[in-house]
């Protein structure tokens, strides 16, 4: 599995759907939010986001597929 920056609209929609599936906010992600996906081949396994503010950033909604939760994999998204 690898962490990649989400750059296209198809991948972004997959990230937004995973956030919704995990009851996390998705509608307020703006242009200043960088999205990342935890990918296994072409499958999205988890998400993370950074909302950029001048010289700092806010970590946004780290999430994993429900079937993978509780295994410690989400740590890879923010370490």
- Has residue 51 got a pLDDT over 60? yes
Question: What is the pLDDT at residue 20?
Answer: 93
- Mean pLDDT confidence for 56-77: 84
Name the residue with tokens 């200043």.
32
- Has residue 71 got a pLDDT over 90? no
Name the residue with tokens 């806010």.
58
**CATH number of domain containing 61:** 3.40.630.30
Model-level pTM? 0.82
Integer CA distances (angstroms), 27 to 30, 40, 42, 59, in order: 8, 26, 24, 16
- Mean pLDDT confidence for 33-50: 90
69, 58, 64, 66: which is closest to 28 by C-alpha? 58
With pLDDT > 90 as the criterion, what percentage of the chain qualifies? 38
Q: How many domains does the chain have?
A: 1
Rounded to 5°, angle at Cα 78 from 75 and 76 = 40
Q: What is the mean pLDDT of the chain?
A: 87
């Amino acid at each position: 599995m690898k962490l990649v920056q989400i750059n296209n609209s198809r991948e972004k929609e997959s990230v937004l759907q995973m956030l919704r599936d995990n009851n996390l906010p998705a509608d307020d992600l703006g242009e200043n939010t960088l999205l990342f996906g935890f990918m296994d081949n072409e499958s999205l396994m988890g998400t993370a986001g950074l909302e950029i503010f001048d010289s700092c950033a806010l970590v946004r909604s780290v999430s994993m597929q429900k079937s993978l939760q509780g295994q410690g994999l989400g740590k890879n998204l923010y370490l």
